[in-house]
Structure 1
Amino acid sequence: MQIYTTVDEISADAFANGGAVAIGKFDGVHRGHRALLARTGEAAAERGLDPLVFTFANNPLSFLKPELCPAPIMSRAQRLDALAAAGVTACVMVPFDAALAALSAEDFVTEMLVQRLHVKYLCVGADFRFGRGGAGDVALLEEMSTKLGFVVEVIDEVEDEEVGRVSSSRVREAIIAGDVARAARMMGRPMSVRGEVVHGDARGRDLGFPTANLGGEVEGLLPIDGVFAGWAIVDGVRHPAAISVGVNLTFEPEGSPRVEAFLIDFTGDLYGKRIEVQFVERLRGMVAYSGVEALVVQIEEDVRATREILAMH
């Protein structure tokens, strides 16, 4: 995938055939986003245009009203990887800064979409807003498109028969609440975090359940504390895993929260590797146990439940 991190990187002939442009935040790259991406790809093929995504490296609220900005579901790198996996071949991911915030809605269309991206087809969600103060909307796009020679198509929200409306805000709420199964239903894949495996206190190994501890900056939004069934992706290979998020209440109730994954039936050295941890279902909350024996019994039950759940996935 070709990635542009500033508009100045876009050469005059970058989209010489004309751009079929999908615009959005794409946080979570959920099923609604993928419907928009799929339609953009179809339109590009039908019209002989260059398909591309325009998005921001940061949520505009992080610049405009940081106190109101929600936690991102994905890191920038995770979003780019998910867009590439969805078939995107070119992505313009620029920082939302003072210059963009000051751009009027009309200037955004003429300077960014028409002059920079050579837009001939534009695909947006029904609630898309743009330009200074969010003054621009779909009605303005449609009005300007007739004058400037491009087509606007609006993609309705995706409705799931089980969980209802699919949106980034609802995915975020589900993850934070620990309902990772509902989040996965809306995303069309398990939600995940990733990071580097670091040395821990080796307590899991002493108990017979060595865990991969994610340290440093962990990419992705963490769910509420608890134990989860899921997967660990190591060097492109998926392994079943029982995952713990939070503080070890039995041994270190005042310790720092962390992500630990016990890779079931895995042998090998993971230290220093970057792995991805995918969450499938929450098993239980965090509990302080009376001693090692009670804790080991519970871990054995967690592993058994994880095997059973993953067998259905």
Structure 2
Amino acid sequence: MKTINLEYPFDKNKIPNEPIALALGFFDGVHLGHQAVVKTAKQVADKDNLKLAVMTFNQSPSTVFGSESEDSFRYLSTLTRKEELFSDLGVDYLYVVKFTDSLIKLNGQEFVDNCIISLHAQAVIAGFDYTYGPKETANMTTLVDYAKGRFSITSVDEIFYNQGKLGTTSIKAALSNGEITNANEQLGYNYQNTGTVIHGLKRGRELGFPTANLDVDKKEYLPADGVYITEILIDDIWYPSMTSVGFNITFDDVMELSIETYILNFNQDIYGKEVKLKWDKFLRPEIKFAGIDALIEQLKQDEKDTENYFEKTV
């Protein structure tokens, strides 16, 4: 897959001169609903002998048109993660369009004429609620008029989960409640974060449970405080692990949120390494223990529960 960064007006020299099936959306999380759009686009592309392309944006529309700032917004998937997921779905070209004042000022017809058509789209596929300007005038219904027969249009229906709408909002809500299984089912894969292993207080080592302290990308959404069964990717190998998110409330000297991962049967120096963390299952909430001994006993139980989980999933 090739990623192509564009800024309006598009540089024609950056755009491959071949017809495409174009999937539209921001695709934060590339969850099951997004996957349905891309898979539908893939079917159209294969049927019509077209390349498969996705057009997304460099930042969330919520930070451009909504009340959230880009500095405070947290993503389910960074661009790097999106590239991995789209590549797995068979996408040939990923167009990442930068939000600029000139782009934002386009009306629906101008967006179609100057963006969609310029990418050589022969087919356009998007979710039923996709908009490309004011939702009253730039939606999937009005797209038929703007297209003027120059490309086919496929609208992908809404997907539901537990009698509610499946989407980025419901996935973030699940993560915020520690409902990892719920979030993973909506995503269609186990949620991941990326980070760097940094030095911590080394308290885990003193307790007999040495942990890798992770500095997670500040742009990524984190699950709720608690202890989880996880997997950590180090040098292209996934290792079973358990991870604590929180403030180590048994102690009084931790002022900032920490992400600490205890890796089962592992004894390597990994300080400074870039890693990925995959969230498999919620174990328990963060607990303030009466003393060190009680904490150690609970950690032993957490380790046993983690071992049992991986024995059953192998």
TM-score range, shorter chain: over 0.9
From 115, 118, 121, give the equivalent of 1:119: 121
Amino acid corresponding to residue 67 of structure 1 in structure 2: E
Q: CA deviation at 1:148?
A: 4.2
Query: 1:149 & 1:9 partners in 2: Cα distance?
Result: 19
Write the deviation string for residues 133-167 of structure 1: whole angstroms up to 9, x where unpaired: 6630111112222x24100001112334x575421
Q: Which TM-score applies when normalising by structure 2?
A: 0.92
Note if contact 1:196-1:272 (Cα within 8 Å) is conserved in structure 2: yes
How many Å separate the matches in 1 of 2:181 and 2:253?
28
SS at match of 2:287: coil
Cα-to-partner distance string for 1:183-230 (whole Å, 9 max, x where unaligned)? 000111111111000111111111111111112634521011110111
Q: Which residue in 1 is equivalent to 2:110?
A: 107
Distance in 2 of aligned mates of 1:159 and 1:64: 26
Between stretches 11-20 and 77-86, larger displacement belongs to: 11-20
Aligned partners of 1:171, 1:254: CA distance in 2, in Å?
29
Q: Which runs of 5 or more structure 2 residues have no equivalent in the other structure?
A: none
**Preserved CA contact (<8 Å) 2:159 2:165:** yes
Secondary structure of the 1:200 match is: coil
Taking only aligned residues, the RMSD between alpha carbons, in angstroms, comes to 2.1
Aligned to 1:85: 88
Structure 1 equivalent of residue 175 of structure 2? 175
CA distance in 1, matches of 2:75, 2:312: 29
Q: Partner amino acid for 1:21?
A: L
Q: What is residue 63 of structure 1 aligned with on the other side?
A: 64
Deviations, residues 2-42 of structure 1 (Å, cap 9, x unaligned): 11121467545834331210011110111111111111112
- TM-score norm. by structure 1 comes to 0.92
Cα 1:134–1:112 change in 2 (3 A) is farther
Give the counterpart letter for 1:49 in structure 2.
Answer: L
Deviation at 1:266, TM superposition (A): 1.4
> Could you say which residue in structure 1 is the equivalent of 2:44?
43
Code of the residue aligned with 2:57 in structure 1: it is F
Corresponding residue for residue 248 of structure 2: 248
Alignment partner, residue 264 of structure 2: 264
The whole-number CA distance in structure 1 between the counterparts of 2:288 and 2:174 is 25
Question: How many residues align structurally?
Answer: 310
Give the stretch that moved more between structures: 71-80 or 173-182: 71-80
2:195 is aligned with what amino acid? G
Q: CA deviation at 1:99?
A: 1.7
- 1:66 positional shift: 3.2
- Structure 1, unaligned stretches of length 5 or more? none
Question: Secondary structure at 2:86's aligned position in 1?
Answer: helix
* Percentage of identical aligned residues: 27
